[in-house]
Each structure stands twice: as structure tokens, then as C-alpha cells.
Amino acid sequence: MHPHGLNAPIRDYLHRGFSPRFLFYKTGSPQNGRTPSLFRLSLMSDPGAATPTLMVGSSRQSAAMSTQKMSRSRDTLMEEEEERQATNTDELRPAEGPGSRAPVPDKFAHTVFDPRVAPLRKIYTKIMVMTLVLTIVMMWICLPVYWGSLARSATHAPSLTTWVIDRDGGEIGQSVVQGLLETTRSGSKSHLGWRQLDPNEVSDVAEAVIDEKAWGAVVINAGASSRLNAARIVGNSSYNPTTSITFYYAQARNELATGNYVVPLTTAALTQANFATFQHQLRGLVPDVHLREFDCTPGIDIRPPNINNGCLVDSRKPQAIQVNLQSICLKDVILTEIYSAPVATALTLVGQIYLCIFAFIMTMTNDAARGIFGPFLRLRSYLYLRILVPLGLYFPLSLAFAMVSLPFHAPFGTKYTYAGGFFLYFVYTYMGMCALGLATEAMVTILTPRFMAFFLIPLIISNVSVAVLPFDLQPWFYKYGYGFPIFNNTQSVRTILFNTKNHLGLNAGVILAWIVLSLTTIPLFTVIMRRRDERAHERELAKQQGTEKLAP
């Protein structure tokens, strides 16, 4: 610096109360043998005071300083404008340079716990943990529904209505009726719901059981006691004991209910009733201890072992003893609706689950493919795409599903012709797939593919839980199944395959109602989501237009 040129002015400003805030000076190489003497001094008494400027030098130097000041003012204005634009923009970019951003991971080059993939590992862990928690919650919500449909079925055995009809009026009829009705007053739940009917109340018992008015019926045939007494008197060993009692039940109505409850409980009740009858009739002929070996199993010739042993048989009436031991045997009449095709399990229950899964695959595929050009379609065209494409896909898919049963000889010709039964089964399969598939099509709109599994689980479980056992063996809550597609589809398949009671019209009505519901919710959900997407698109366009206007 040049102390002789600045010391006096500085001292003057200091004496006036100013304190130096900034002090700038410019030096340069000598020009024309002279040393530059242009200085700029900024002195302030406080932050809000004006900045006095001290010019030291010649007039030419002062003019040069004025030009420099104007140039600096323009530069300052431009810098302030750039700062203002930077403050107003929403897209702030981080500073570039070493350490300013995380390094990009290389493919096929890191371990699970590599720090360079820590952000990706965090996202992955979050997704998996959330999915695990949601799955466990859904498991505990849905699985008890299915478990509950099976857990207490034995306690609901009295809900299975069964009839006992006495057309004999004699000793056999009275003892059997009394024995069966006595089981209902035992205090336990291990019995059927026996009701005694007047012989004239039901003319055709077999037809009534087929019509699902009762799960079974025990009929003591007319003349059972008189024929037994006549055979005992004359010692007629050719007497046929299986004509005394006839038992009717419909196996194909539900093979689990009939096999686990109707037949075993009826057999046990008749065995107990007939044992008391035998004790009365055979007193003095056969020791009581051997009567306990009697078992009235359907279709089995009954007599205690060693009956021909001389020490047990009264030599005066050997034929009479044999007649008595065979007199009250159970003749079981299994109706025409026999569950005789094990392959039917694949069509009635398990196949319905597969039907839902195949429809779900089409839903997810359609959703992924629709995202390619769906956003570029108008709303009406987009709705056509959402509804007509699944309906078209389900047709060949359900036909192929139905044809799988042909090589395994499913009994399609039981009620109708074989071809007619098959095509009717195909029609109900197509309707069932539409009902289940369109339901998933509607919900994928709201839930998105990420959460669709949490709709598929309750859809399957709520439908299967009501199709395993009859409602008579389940709590009242499960009667909701009357309005669900899998129960109605299963019931229609049983009618086609085993000629059970015809509910085809009702079944079709319920399934079509589900289809109509989905055809209503799909457009509704689509319109809601489309409007949301359109508003987001409009905001994006407005944002882009505003950015273009601010651009120079």
C-alpha cells in the first residue's frame, strides 16, 4: 500500500467514528513507468450504514473506477436473478464431486452385507418383513374359518335329520323305533336327529331321501314280526332276515357326512336296539354272554360264532335258534346316487381351487400386459379391454379344464347323456371361472398386483370352507356359503355326475349374480383409478409448462 496517500484519510474516517469493514486495493504492474494508484476503501460505522467509498488517484483513474462500478452493478443484478430462480425451483440438484452421492453398485460384484448395497438391502428387507407380517395376519384371520368348519362337526350330528318309519306295528317295529328315539335322549351328541313318521306320511321313502328331505330313513317293513314268528314256530331256516328292515341314504349328497356320521351312527343305534330284542326273544335258547357278540353291520350275515356247537344249541329247536339270530338284520339300500367315482373329488372340491388359481393367473398376466398400452386408450376402449379380454380367455381355459376329466372317465352320463353331461359341466365350469376370475379382476384395480395375494387367500378359504361338509354339520355362520360360487358350482357338479337333487337353476343364478357384481365393480373401480391418474397427468403437464416459461 501507499501509506502516504492513505494514512491521513483513514485517520480522518476513524476519528469520525467509522470502523473499517472491508478494505480492497488493486495493484498492478507499472504502466508507462507509473505505478497504479487506484484504491477502493469501504468503511462502515454499522452493518446498516452506507458504505463510503474513497477514491485516491487522478481523474482518469476516477473515471475508470466509475466504469468498473457500473460493470460490477450489472454483475450483481445478474447474480441476484440467478439466486432468485434457484430459490424458486423445486428440482435442486446436489453438488457434484467426490462423496456427493452414493456409488452405483456393480452387477454381480457384491455380497449381501456389502456397504455399497446397503440402501438396496434396506428396501429389500422392508418389503420382505412387511410381506411376512401381512401374511401372518392374513393366515390367522382366514385359516380359523376353514379349521372351524371341521373342528366341531361331530357335535352337530343331531342336526342330520333322519327318519324311522314303522310299517310293521309288531314287536320288531316297536323295539327298533324305541331304540332309535332313545338315542336322542341320551344326553350325548353322538346320535342323529331321529324323527318318527307315520307310515302314510311318506309314500316313496327313496324319492324323499333323494329330494334331500332327510339324510337317511330306517323303515321297518310290513309283516316283519309276523314272518319272524311264523318262521320260529315251524323252524323255517330259509327265512330271509334282510327283509325286516330297510335303510335308505344318499351317499353322493356328501360322502363325508354319510360315511362318517349317517351310516356308522345308524348301524350303532340299530345294533343296540336289536340286542335288546334278541335278549327277549332268545331267552332260554342261547346264553346271554354270546348275544353280546352280535353286530348288525349292513350287508353282513349275522350269527354268533360257534352257533352250531352242540353245547350251545337246544337240540329240540336248532332251526328256530338260527332263525332268531338272523331275524332282524339290516338291509341297506344305497340309492342310485352312489359316490362311485373317486375322480369326482378333483371336480367337486380340489378342482374348484385350481379353477380359481388359473383365473388368477390370467388376471395377473392381463394386468401386466395392459400396462403397456392401456394408459394410451380412451376410457371406453380401456373398459372393453378390461372386460371382454378376460371373458374371452376364460372360454378356452375352462374348456381345457373340463376336458382333463374325459380320459379319467368321469361319470358325465349319470343324469344326462355323456355328451350332454360333459357340455353342461363345461358351461358351469366357465361360469365358475368367470365368477372367480372377474372378482380378482375387479380387486386388482384397487389393491394393485403387490397386494392381490391378500385377496386371493380369503377368497379361496371362504369358498372352500363351506364346500367340505354339509351345513347341518357346521355352525350357523357357514350358511353364508349358499351365496358363494364354489359351493354352488360343487353342488351343480354333484347333480351332473351323481344325479343328486337338481339345484342347477339356483346354482346358475347365484354364479351369474357374482358375475354381474364383478361386471359392475370393474367399471366403477376403473373410473375411480382412471380419474386419479388423469389428475396426476394434468399436474405433471402444468408443472412442465411452468418450467418451460421460466427457462431463458
What's the per-residue H, E or C state across 421-488? HHHHHHHHHHHHHHHHHHHHHHHHHHHCHHHCHHHHHHHHHHHHCCCCCCHHHCCHHHHHHHHCHHHH
Residues 298 and 401 in one domain: no
Are 326 and 353 in a shared domain?
no
Considering the domain architecture, whether residues 322 and 359 belong to the same structural domain is answered as: no
User: 221-260: buried (b, 16+ CB within 10 Å) or exposed (e) per residue?
Assistant: bebbbebbbebbeeeeeebebbebbbbbbbbbbbbebbeb
Bridge partners of 279?
none
- Do 350 and 323 sit in the same domain of this protein? no
Asked if 419 and 443 sit in the same domain, the reply is yes
User: Both 313 and 348 in a single domain?
Assistant: no
Quote the CA–CA distance of 487 and 344 in Å, as a whole number. 15
8-state DSSP, 37? -
Q: How many domains does the chain contain in total?
A: 3
Are 221 and 257 found together in one domain? yes
The tens-digit pLDDT sequence of the chain (552 residues) is 444 444 555 555 445 544 444 444 444 444 444 444 444 444 444 444 444 444 444 445 555 555 555 555 556 666 666 666 555 544 445 444 555 566 777 755 777 788 888 888 888 788 877 877 886 787 688 768 766 766 677 788 888 889 999 998 888 888 888 888 888 887 778 888 899 998 888 888 888 888 888 989 998 888 888 887 787 777 666 777 777 888 888 888 877 788 888 888 888 888 777 666 655 555 544 444 333 333 444 443 333 333 333 223 333 333 333 333 333 444 545 454 566 566 777 788 888 898 899 999 889 988 888 887 788 888 888 898 899 989 999 999 999 888 888 888 888 988 899 999 999 999 999 999 999 999 999 999 999 998 998 899 999 999 999 988 888 888 888 999 999 999 999 999 999 988 888 999 999 999 999 999 999 999 999 999 989 988 888 888 888 887 766 665
As a whole number of angstroms, the distance between CA 140 and CA 150 comes to 16
Q: Report yes or no: 362 and 389 within 8 Å, Cβ to Cβ.
A: no
In the structure grid, which three cell numbers stand for residue 17, read together? Answer: 467514528
Asked whether residue 112 is domain-assigned, the answer is no
For residue 197, give the CATH number of its domain: 3.40.1710
Minimal CA–CA distance to 452: which of 516, 357, 521, 313?
A: 357
The range of the structural domain enclosing residue 249 comes to 158-334
Q: Within a domain: residue 151?
A: no
**215 and 329 together in one domain:** yes
My answer on whether 298 and 328 are in the same domain is yes
Is the same domain home to 308 and 370? no
517 and 541 together in one domain: yes
Residue at 290 is within a domain = yes
The contacts of residue 362 (CB under 8 Å, 6+ apart) are 390, 393, 394, 397, 437
Give the integer Cα–Cα distance in Å for 291 and 298.
Answer: 18
